Amino acid sequence: MDAITFAVQLLNGVQYGLVLFLVASGLTLVFGILGVINLAHGAFYMLGAYLAWFIASITGSFALALVGALAISFLLGIALEEVFVKRMIGRDHLAQVLLSFGLILVIDEVRQILFGKDVHSVAAPEWLQGSFKLTEVLSYPIYRVALCVACLILAGVIFYVIQKTRLGMIIRAGAENRDMTRALGIPFDVVNRYVFAGGIALAALGGILVAPVSTVFPGMGDGMLILSFVVVVLGGIGSVAGAAIGALLIGLTDTFGKVFFPQVSSILIYVLMAGVLLWRPNGLLGKS
């Protein structure tokens, strides 16, 4: 493998990892703050992509699709928190698993009713179409580069919010010790609602952003859910920094696995997970 091919694969792996980070950070935050396991997280990734496709196909504008799909997902998150998730806080994990499984079935079927089950593609905005020419035979799509940049900016925003803002302080305290923060008189109803809606929005955003580089199809959420879980297990529950490390590890493992060990590439990330479980059962940055 020459240097340029390697660089392209590296870029692919990083880009994949960055999208994974977006989605998984939403999942890990929702668990860290609300203490709720959400199996429907992947369904929102899928829903975001379908919403983006739908809006783009009507308006022809990717920007509108992005804003519209994101806003709808966020509002949906707020509504779901209000109606269901609020009542799940403090319930046992089994109840949370079943509730979110029920939600998956509902979301899948609603998507089926509204958008059908066809596979779609979404066009990237015009100014991001085309490719950088690397060599005679190799080129790299501009949109993928833009996707990396967008994800990096978002990751920066997420870390800024968590490290520097009052909300972030509450989030960090909550992930450390949920009982303690409850006792401090923090408006948890509000924090919970926005963290959940924000988590959902991050999942949807992942789906929206990858729509132009991959296909939009019904089963896309399931795959993403499992990957997010693996990321969270690798990084440690509630740790956003852990999610970042886990996501990049998975992105690179998967991408280079496909290059070097194509037969077993789909198993590799689980081998990685098994290794981390043997070494640090609570994740790389998890508390022991």
Of 1, 57, 93, 176, the one binding another protein by CB under 8 A: 93
**29 belongs to the binding site for another protein (CB under 8 A):** no
Distance CA 247, CA 66 (A): 23
Distance CA 282, CA 71 (A): 34
Smallest gap from Cβ 218 to another protein, in A, equals 12
Smallest gap from Cβ 23 to another protein, in A, equals 14
**164 belongs to the binding site for another protein (CB under 8 A):** no
End-to-end CA distance of the chain: 40
Smallest gap from Cβ 84 to another protein, in A, equals 7
**37 belongs to the binding site for another protein (CB under 8 A):** yes
Of 97, 114, 119, 190, the one binding another protein by CB under 8 A: 97
Distance CA 31, CA 261 (A): 34
> Residue 116 phi/psi, 5° resolution?
75, -170
Smallest gap from Cβ 264 to another protein, in A, equals 8
Distance CA 141, CA 129 (A): 7
Measured from the CB atom, is 160 or 270 closer to another protein? 270
**112 belongs to the binding site for another protein (CB under 8 A):** yes
Distance CA 207, CA 105 (A): 18
Q: What is the DSSP letter of 42?
A: H
Residues within window 207-266 making contact with another protein, judged by CB under 8 A? 222, 226, 229-230, 232-233, 237, 263, 265-266
Measured from the CB atom, is 108 or 154 closer to another protein? 108
Of 160, 164, 274, 287, the one binding another protein by CB under 8 A: 274
Smallest gap from Cβ 193 to another protein, in A, equals 19
Smallest gap from Cβ 65 to another protein, in A, equals 25
Cα-based distances in Å from 205 to 51, 66, 163: 11, 8, 22
Q: Give every CB contact of residue 155 below 8 A, 6+ residues apart in sequence.
A: 18, 21, 22, 25, 244
| 142, 131 contact by CB (below 8 A) | yes
- What are the beta bridge partners of residue 131? 141
List residues binding another protein (CB under 8 A). Answer: 31, 37, 39, 84, 87, 91-95, 97-99, 101-106, 108-110, 112-113, 222, 226, 229-230, 232-233, 237, 263, 265-267, 270, 273-274, 277-278, 281-282
